[in-house]
Amino acid sequence: MDSAAPPDFVETFASLDRARLTYTNGEARQQQLAARQLVWEYVDALWQDVQRAGERPEVGDKYHALTVVRSLTHSLRTVAFDAVYDAEPRDPEPAG
C-alpha cells in the first residue's frame, strides 16, 4: 500500500459501511457504535503508548499499520455515530 492508498481505502469502506448501517434498525446501530467505540479507544491507547515512548507514529513507515488502523477505526466510529444520531427513524411505530 502506498501512502495515498489508506485515505482512499478508508473512504471507500466508509461508503459501504454507511450504506449497510442505513438498513439496520436503531438497536443494531447503537450496538455497532458501542463496539466501534471500544475498538477506537484501544487503538487510540496504542497510539498514545507510542507517543509516550517518544516516537512519532504519524511520521515514517515504522508505524504505518497503526496509522492506517487508527484512521479506519476513526472512520468506523464516525459512520456509526452518524448512523445513530443523524438517521431518520426507520423502526415502525407500534400500532395502537
Model pLDDT for residues 55-79, shown as the tens digit of each residue: 999 998 999 999 999 999 999 999 9
Q: How far apart are CA 26 and CA 44, in angstroms?
A: 26
The residue-averaged pLDDT of 31-43 equals 98
Length of the chain: 96
Which pTM was predicted?
Answer: 0.80
The sign one gets for the Cα dihedral 56, 62, 66, 69 is positive
Please say whether the beta carbons of 32 and 59 come within 8 A: no
* pLDDT of 1 above 70: no
Helix, strand, coil percentages (3-state) for the chain, rounded to 5, are 70, 0, 30
| For the chain, percent of residues with pLDDT exceeding 70 | 82
CA 86 to chain centroid, in Å, comes to 16
Q: Of 8-12, 28-32, 35-39, which range is least confident?
A: 8-12
Q: What is the pLDDT of residue 8?
A: 86
